[in-house]
A and B are shown apart, each in its own frame.
Chain A
């Protein structure tokens, strides 16, 4: 399968714990996006990378959230000191950007539950 993969698919944690999610984009895709989706809502943009550079972060991304894409391939999203409000589906998407509109391909998501 050469699509976007995310790991883990599900994560249950206690409030105050740190969690880290991984996203492996489609090979050679230069852009990688992180979104958060809660029930009944569309995905909310969190941040994105072009190669290894983090180009934009949403104001939704508090200082407890950090994302990296160290070698321009896979990316990690870490949430420190999790809160119950962090419970959501975290979606990763990748695309091949060449200066115009491009299609984003989404991974299956990581569903986080903070108890």
Chain B
């Protein structure tokens, strides 16, 4: 089993749709969780950290379920500019001492 798994994608959704990405991790000692965004042929950029209580940033909501070892990202009212690959990232300690990126899920928002 891979250490971090994500929905295989790609997701093709119309503008304005709500889309959810799922991520599971295998190591219960994982402590830090993030979502990164990577545009085509560009470097990854941090989208948001994921906190135990869940957190929201505008149209983006991240949730963490430690018992199920599951992380989610919800995008509401999707925009064309949201088209990218979304990477789930898990770190073993409360730092980046061992960082594992998931394979990513590709999103295309269609006019």
Q: How many residues of A contact B (CB 8 A)?
A: 25
- Nearest-neighbor residue (CB-CB) of B49 within chain A: A101
Range class of the B interface residue count: 20 to 34
Q: Chain B interface mostly helix, strand, loop or mixed?
A: strand
Binding site for A on B (CB under 8 A): 4, 32, 34, 42-46, 49, 87, 89, 91, 94-104
Q: A100-B94, A102-B96 are in contact. List 16 more A-B contacts (CB 8 A).
A: A31-B96, A33-B99, A35-B101, A40-B103, A41-B104, A42-B87, A42-B104, A43-B87, A44-B101, A91-B43, A97-B96, A101-B32, A101-B34, A101-B49, A101-B95, A106-B45
A108 contacts B43, C-beta separation under 8 Å: yes
A33 contacts B97, C-beta separation under 8 Å: no
Provide the bound-state CA to CA distance between A98 and B95, in Å: 9
Interface string of A30-42 (1 = CB under 8 A from B): 0101010000111
B103 contacts A56, C-beta separation under 8 Å: no
- Measured CB to CB, the closest approach of chain A to B74, in angstroms, equals 20
